[in-house]
Amino acid sequence: MASLNVGNLGEYLREQRRNAQLSLRQLADAAGVSNPYLSQIERGLRKPSAEVLQQVAKALRISAETLYVRAGILDAERDRDEVETRAVLLADPSLNERQKQVLLQIYESFRKENGFGTGGSEQEAEGEERPGSAEDDTGDTTARGTRTAGGSDAGPRRTAGQ
């Protein structure tokens, strides 16, 4: 497991708390942790558990995964894109909770369709090209031939810039 980056986490938590216009005491109450403990986390003096991070994330209405990455609990390189996408969707104030959940379900279904499950993949972690797409010399993105569920090869499809 990666070492905890508590200072970075504390700064991030403070920023999120201020963006949510919550006092330290209000966030501590909402998260079910003590005010001094939360203060110590924000100042980088304490290493919170995943459970505490989850409670704080819920109180701030942000993704717990984002806090896990900031704390070094999740591998940032492997999970960053997925976590950031989820965090942006969850943080959008113009969407209600049902809409956010529907968007997350659609996002996850597209990831699975493209061969990436929940939590990222080893190919993404190593920076390898995603299967199913390539850029030709004109800059257009085309889908490469992929094997369908029935076992037949699907030919290239033009996906942009036709």
pLDDT of the residue at 80: 67
pTM of the full structure: 0.47
Residue the block writes with tokens 């094997």: 147
- What confidence score (pLDDT) does residue 2 get? 41
Kindly tell me the sign of the dihedral angle through the C-alpha atoms of 70, 72, 77, 78: negative
pLDDT digits (tens, 9 = 90+) for 43-99: 999 989 889 999 999 999 998 888 888 888 876 555 667 777 888 888 888 999 999
- Res 42: pLDDT: 93
Alpha helices in the chain (DSSP H): 6-19, 24-31, 35-42, 50-60, 64-71, 76-91, 97-113, 122-125
Identify the sign of the CA torsion 113, 117, 123, 126: positive
Above 50 in pLDDT, residue 118? yes
Characterise 127 by phi-psi region: left (phi > 0), alpha (psi -120 to 50), beta (else).
left
Phi, psi values for residue 62, rounded to 5°: -125, 170
Query: Given pLDDT bands bounded at 50, 70 and 90, which one contains residue 7?
Result: low
Q: What is the pLDDT of residue 78?
A: 57
**pLDDT value for 65:** 83
pLDDT for the residue 120 = 39
Whose CA is closest to 18, among 53, 62, 83? 62
119: left (phi over 0), alpha (psi -120 to 50) or beta: left
Can you tell me which residue has the tokens 């110590």?
40
Share above pLDDT 90 across residues of the chain, in percent, rounded to a whole number: 35
